[in-house]
Structure 1
Amino acid sequence: MSTDRDHSEKRDRLKKTRTLNRSPEKVRDPMFTTGDFFDPEDLLQVRYEMVRLVRLGGATLAQAAERFGVSRPTCFRMAKAFREGGLMGLIPARRGPRGPHKITPEILRFVRICRERHGRIGAKRLVPLIEAEFGVRLHPRGLEKALARAEKKTLETGP
């Protein structure tokens, strides 16, 4: 018999591993609504059982999507992810960009040269210069963040 503390610890582990189901109330499969083993908050378990049901022929993709509280495209994506990557394919990837992909070392060097020649130029004035020189459209705040990271990196490693 699990306690509230056990449940809380499990939720914390699921959050840390990005496998906490944000919509457990949408899971309507009978295995997850009765009993203690199947946990609708465990996203990996929900995804695996959904894919397993489809693979064993117990339901169509549309039926499985309905029972497990996801869209049909999500169910299709999970079936494909499992086929291609096994259980690891069902683990959610990190969300959002993986870094500043537009701001290259050349752009940072350009900014440094502009600032050496003209003093401390702000990001709002630099963005149009960068677009004219490199053909890259940036948001001023994104440039500010990249410049702050570059400056921090320089301070940590030295000149």
Structure 2
Amino acid sequence: MLKVQEIRELIKLVDQSNIDEFVYEHDGSKIKMKKKTAEEVVARPVMPVMEEIPAPKAVQPAMVKQEVVTEPTVQAPIKEIEADTKDLHKIVSPMVGTFYQSSSPDAEAYVKAGSKVSKDSIVCIVEAMKLFNEIEAEVNGEIVEVLVKDGQLVEYGQPLFLVKAE
């Protein structure tokens, strides 16, 4: 049997020569070496097939058109709301969490559109890290609009209610 060093030398010799395949048999042991040839590299049709897949290119223009079409319709209502809300007080979320309108699923909501509130009135709960934080109105007035849905995730500073201050 050949030693590891002798096998390494054979590999180097085969690699440097023009031989594509080398087989050595001795006492029931067999060593077979093959070089990668240019034919093997050329024979791979995988790359051109993968490049020919047109589906993502065909989908992207349609998505861009949809965004362009929907963008102006999204912007217009936001400007209208901003114009209407200049005189209104916004009750914002003091933290990131989950918005709840009531203390339990079967309890009535703390406030609805048209409800009268005072500075210390509880308007909702924001749950953050298993802590339920009661949010107060901070102003006397009337709830004009509830801006988020029950169970919705809210961000820090996100408006929750619009209040017409008195």
Higher strand share: 2
Larger CA Rg, structure 1 vs 2 = 2
State the structure with bigger RCO (CA 8 A, min sep 6), 1 or 2: 2
TM-score normalized with structure 2 length: 0.24
Higher helix share: 1
TM-score normalized with structure 1 length: 0.24
